Amino acid sequence: MVDFWWPDFNVIGEFDDKHKYTDPRYMNGRTAQQVLYDEKLREDDLRAASHGFTRWPWATAVSPALLRAHLAPAGVH
Q: What is the pLDDT along the chain (77 residues), one digit of tens a residue?
A: 889 999 999 999 998 888 888 899 989 999 999 999 999 999 899 888 877 889 999 999 999 999 999 999 999 98
Q: Round to whole Å and give the CA distance between 74 and 77.
A: 9
**How far apart (Å, rounded) are the C-alpha atoms in residues 60 and 50?**
25
- The boundaries of the domain holding residue 65 are 4-74
Q: Which residues contact 55 (CB under 8 A, 6 or more apart)?
A: 13, 14, 15, 16, 43
Quote the number of domains for the chain: 1
- pLDDT at position 70: 95
